[in-house]
Amino acid sequence: MYVQRPIAILDSGVGGLTVVKEVMRQLPLERIIYFGDTARTPYGPRPAAEVQQFTREIVDYLIQFNPKMIVIACNTATAVALDLIRDCCEVPVIGVIYPGARAAIGLTQSGQVGVIGTEGTIQSGAYEQALKRLNPHIHVLSQACPAFVPLVEQGNFRSSETLAAVEQSLRTLKQGQIDSLILGCTHYPFLTETIAEVMGPDVRLISSADETAREISTILQTQGMLASQNIVPIHQFCCSGEAQMFKTIAQQWLNEEIVQTPVVWHVPKIGTLPKIG
Amino acid sequence: MYVQRPIAILDSGVGGLTVVKEVMRQLPLERIIYFGDTARTPYGPRPAAEVQQFTREIVDYLIQFNPKMIVIACNTATAVALDLIRDCCEVPVIGVIYPGARAAIGLTQSGQVGVIGTEGTIQSGAYEQALKRLNPHIHVLSQACPAFVPLVEQGNFRSSETLAAVEQSLRTLKQGQIDSLILGCTHYPFLTETIAEVMGPDVRLISSADETAREISTILQTQGMLASQNIVPIHQFCCSGEAQMFKTIAQQWLNEEIVQTPVVWHVPKIGTLPKIG
């Protein structure tokens, strides 16, 4: 059985492109429709009710593309809106928090796991809850890193300013005994090299992106919903904010994958969202 | 929502205990009922129809325990009997082949993946099929290793005889350019150290056990079927052959996990299967 409908992936901005890249790499037959809410990024400092409303608006928009699955590729939105979206959709809806939690549980030897994320994600306690729901013996150290998302949205991945911000944000966490650190925001994999440099070689970094792609694969395959092997997928990208910056970051980040696959830079129809491209 | 029913895990012998150990570690709240068909091991050299019949018999037995999920923790049985068992069960049924394939696709950088397994598994082409179903660009090198299962069933994990057998079996595969090697038989993780020594540090070994436990977690959690956090699970173990050898290997292998959890050595009721313990 083949299901050619796209996988809808949404994020507050460019962070969800880390999930897109892994889905393109691990499941190159699958078609993606992506929405980055770059006009309203970051979601991290916003009240939960507002994030729920934004997420709901984007899902309502993406539903028009008849997706076979919805992926909330934003930790903040997963933390506060996953259950809400699940309740109003007929297709499988997955977030990025449980995949990261599962990976950490699989990797940790010491049982001491660190989590970094936006204020919204850390304050929600969603990672601690997921980790302890699966394995109550895990000890969790959490740290909000509000400085990281703006750096990524500006494409500022590897500067001395970025290194200083990462060192400052992770100072407390470094004093703990963690052996695994969940990058609990889909923007953070853009900063992997800097975070690895600061945390040192004994701490394994866990990207939600890789794990989420693997769980998308698990759910589509076990439910008989993979795409056909004979069709080259055409991906679509939408953003709500300034189009050129989004397109530049997306092309830079997805480079290797994107050259092998046709891409449409889509024109969103929500409200007054500006045109891409 | 809590579902206290056990996870049923079956194998041709002791190999499936590698999956049990990972489930105990990753999901310590879940109750397990295990069946090792030690009287009829190994399944690898048997005709497909016979493996299908044996698997069906064991599932019919395990169904009495009202499991919430059935895990075919044997690659040979997964390769030839997974679809059959899925068709006759109402609960989710998962095998060990797709989890290993997904992990390899996630890890490989070169796209060159090796697979070792029993004759039955390798001849079925099930891994190659799964890998290419997910990602047609993956190049697969396969090698049957019929010498490995008898060594494990005898508890012979680290002798010079074992090293010689592993070197001999992997000679051809070592000449390939693989960067990831799927241990495509649940017995093989018992030989991880020896296999790693022979393949060298540039080849990452993928244990189906770890990945399968993670997929069990994904399916139970996304379907709202995890066990309660307030009940200590009591595991049950059954085997069809000589009980003492099975119990010795199980206790040795599960040692760390088992000391923290009560275990019942169960008396199977199929035909004339002998009593455990």
pLDDT digits (tens, 9 = 90+) for B198-248: 999 999 999 988 899 999 999 999 999 999 888 888 888 888 887 888 888
CB-based burial label for B269 (10 Å; 0-12, 13-18, 19+): exposed
Those residues with Cβ within 8 angstroms of residue A34's Cβ, 6 or more apart along the chain or in another chain: A8, A9, A10, A11, A16, A17, A20, A235, A236, A237, A238
Q: ipTM for the complex?
A: 0.85
B55 and B128 both lie in a single domain: no
Average pLDDT over residues A134-151: 94
Average pLDDT over residues B29-46: 91
Phi/psi of residue B94, each to 5°?
Answer: -125, 150
Is residue B185 annotated as a catalytic residue, yes or no? Answer: yes
Using the predicted structure, report yes or no on whether residue B66 has a pLDDT greater than 90. Answer: yes
A217 and A90 both lie in a single domain: yes
pLDDT number for residue A277? 40
- Residue that terminates a domain, selected from A166, A182, A207: A207
Which secondary structure element, helix H or strand E, spans residue A93, and what is its range?
A: strand A93-94
Given pLDDT bands bounded at 50, 70 and 90, which one contains residue B277? very low
Q: Mind telling me how many Å the CA of A218 is from chain B's nearest CA?
A: 7
A116 and A188 both lie in a single domain: yes
Task: For chain B, give the mean pLDDT.
Answer: 89
Phi/psi of residue A117, each to 5°?
Answer: -170, -175
Which chain A residue lies closest to B213 (C-alpha atoms)?
A: A106
Average pLDDT over residues B89-105: 96
CB-based burial label for A51 (10 Å; 0-12, 13-18, 19+): buried
Given pLDDT bands bounded at 50, 70 and 90, which one contains residue B157? confident
Say if CB B5 and CB B67 are below 8 A apart: yes
Using the predicted structure, report yes or no on whether residue A266 has a pLDDT greater than 80. Answer: no
Task: For chain A, give the mean pLDDT.
Answer: 89
- A11, A9, A15: which is closest to A190 by C-alpha? A15
Q: What's the gap between Cα B273 and its chain centre?
A: 22
Cis peptide before A146 (omega within 30 of 0): no
Active-site annotation holder among A88, A89, A185, A239: A185
- A22, A10, A21: which is closest to A249 by C-alpha? A21
State percent of chain A over pLDDT 90.
69
Given pLDDT bands bounded at 50, 70 and 90, which one contains residue A139? very high
User: Chain A, 124-163: which have a CB under 8 Å from a chain B CB?
Assistant: 132-137
Kindly state whether residue A274 falls inside one of the protein's structural domains.
Answer: no
pLDDT number for residue A230? 82
A191 and A127 both lie in a single domain: yes
Phi/psi of residue B271, each to 5°?
Answer: 40, -125
Which secondary structure element, helix H or strand E, spans residue A236, and what is its range?
A: strand A235-239
Residues of B in contact with A132 (CB under 8 A): 229
pLDDT number for residue A2? 87
Q: Do residue B218 and residue A98 have CB atoms under 8 angstroms apart?
A: yes
Kindly state whether residue A273 falls inside one of the protein's structural domains.
Answer: no
pLDDT number for residue A7? 98
Residue bearing the bigger pLDDT, B230 or A12:
A12
Using the predicted structure, report yes or no on whether residue A267 has a pLDDT greater than 50. Answer: no
Given pLDDT bands bounded at 50, 70 and 90, which one contains residue B259? low
Kindly state whether residue A140 falls inside one of the protein's structural domains.
Answer: yes
A12 is in an annotated binding site: yes
CA–CA separation, A148 and A4 (whole Å): 36
Q: Helix (H, G, I), strand (E, B), or coil: what is residue A94? A: strand
User: Chain B, 91-130: which have a CB under 8 Å from a chain A CB?
Assistant: 92, 94, 98-99, 102-103, 105-106
**What is the per-residue burial (b if ≥16 Cβ within 10 Å, else e) of B76-86?**
bbbbbbbebbb
Measured from the Cβ of residue B233, the count of other Cβ atoms closer than 10 Å reads 20
A56 and A88 both lie in a single domain: yes
CB-based burial label for B68 (10 Å; 0-12, 13-18, 19+): buried
Which chain A residue lies closest to B93 (C-alpha atoms)?
A: A222
Optimal mutation site among B134, B204, B211, B219, interface A, most CBs of chain A within 10 A: B134
- Least confident stretch, A62-76, A132-146, A232-246, B134-148: A232-246
pLDDT number for residue B264? 62
CB-based burial label for A179 (10 Å; 0-12, 13-18, 19+): middle
- Residue that terminates a domain, selected from B166, B186, B208: B208
Residue bearing the bigger pLDDT, B150 or B170:
B170
Say if CB A242 and CB A17 are below 8 A apart: no
What are the Cα distances from residue B13, in Å, to A165, B40, B76? 53, 8, 12
Kindly state whether residue A1 falls inside one of the protein's structural domains.
Answer: no
pLDDT digits (tens, 9 = 90+) for A79-108: 999 999 999 999 999 999 999 999 999 999
Residues of B in contact with A134 (CB under 8 A): 26-27, 29, 217, 221, 226
Residues of B in contact with A26 (CB under 8 A): 102, 105-106, 134-135
User: Chain A, 230-269: which have a CB under 8 Å from a chain B CB?
Assistant: none
Residues of B in contact with A213 (CB under 8 A): 106
B98 strand-pairing partners = none
CB-based burial label for B176 (10 Å; 0-12, 13-18, 19+): middle
Task: Tell me if chain B has a CB within 8 Å of the CB of A205.
Answer: no
B242 and B177 both lie in a single domain: no
One DSSP character per residue, chain B reads ----SPEEEEESSSTTHHHHHHHHHH-TT--EEEEE-TTT---TTS-HHHHHHHHHHHHHHHGGG--SEEEE--HHHHHHHHHHHHHH-SS-EE-SHHHHHHHHHHH-SSSEEEEEE-HHHHHHTHHHHHHHHH-TT-EEEEEE-TTHHHHHHTT--SSHHHHHHHHHHHHHHHTS--SEEEE-STTGGGGHHHHHHHH-TTSEEEEHHHHHHHHHHHHHHHTT-PPPTT----EEEEESS-HHHHHHHHHHHHHHHHTTS-EEE----STTPPPP-
pLDDT number for residue A131? 97
pLDDT number for residue B257? 61
| For the ranges B44-48, B227-231, B251-255, the one whose mean pLDDT is highest | B44-48
Kindly state whether residue B123 falls inside one of the protein's structural domains.
Answer: yes
Active-site annotation holder among B88, B89, B185, B239: B185
Kindly state whether residue B137 falls inside one of the protein's structural domains.
Answer: yes
Q: Do residue A218 and residue B215 have CB atoms under 8 angstroms apart?
A: yes
Edge-to-edge strands of the sheet including B32-36? B93-94, B69-72, B7-11, B32-36, B235-239, B263-265
B105 and B198 both lie in a single domain: yes
Is residue A185 annotated as a catalytic residue, yes or no? Answer: yes
B61 and B131 both lie in a single domain: no
Smallest Cβ–Cβ distance between A134 and the set B27, B102, B136 belongs to B27
Q: What type of residue sits at position A266?
A: H
pLDDT number for residue B204? 96
Edge-to-edge strands of the sheet including A112-117? A139-144, A112-117, A180-183, A204-207
Residue B145 belongs to a domain with what CATH number? 3.40.50.1860
pLDDT number for residue A274? 41
The count of domains in chain A is 2
Q: Do residue B98 and residue A27 have CB atoms under 8 angstroms apart?
A: no
B86 and B217 both lie in a single domain: yes
Which chain A residue lies closest to B218 (C-alpha atoms)?
A: A215
Residues of B in contact with A29 (CB under 8 A): 134-136
Kindly state whether residue B70 falls inside one of the protein's structural domains.
Answer: yes
pLDDT number for residue A262? 56
pLDDT number for residue A273? 44
Average pLDDT over residues A238-265: 74
Average pLDDT over residues B76-96: 95
For chains A and B, CB pairs below 8 A equal 79
Given pLDDT bands bounded at 50, 70 and 90, which one contains residue A270? very low
CA–CA separation, A156 and A177 (whole Å): 29
Say if CB B144 and CB B115 are below 8 A apart: no
Q: Helix (H, G, I), strand (E, B), or coil: what is residue A11? A: strand
Optimal mutation site among B27, B86, B102, interface A, most CBs of chain A within 10 A: B102
Residues of A in contact with B227 (CB under 8 A): none
CA–CA separation, A133 and A101 (whole Å): 10
A181 and A218 both lie in a single domain: no
Q: Whole domain around residue A117: which residue ranges?
A: 97-207
B198 and B246 both lie in a single domain: no
Average pLDDT over residues B154-179: 92
Given pLDDT bands bounded at 50, 70 and 90, which one contains residue B98? very high
Kindly state whether residue B119 falls inside one of the protein's structural domains.
Answer: yes
Q: Helix (H, G, I), strand (E, B), or coil: what is residue A100? A: helix
| For the ranges A246-255, B138-147, B227-236, the one whose mean pLDDT is highest | B138-147
pLDDT digits (tens, 9 = 90+) for A58-83: 999 899 899 999 999 999 999 999 99
Say if CB B120 and CB B81 are below 8 A apart: no
Residue bearing the bigger pLDDT, A269 or B27:
B27
- Residue that terminates a domain, selected from B208, B233, B250: B208
CA–CA separation, B137 and A18 (whole Å): 21
B74 and B162 both lie in a single domain: no
Q: Do residue A103 and residue B229 have CB atoms under 8 angstroms apart?
A: no
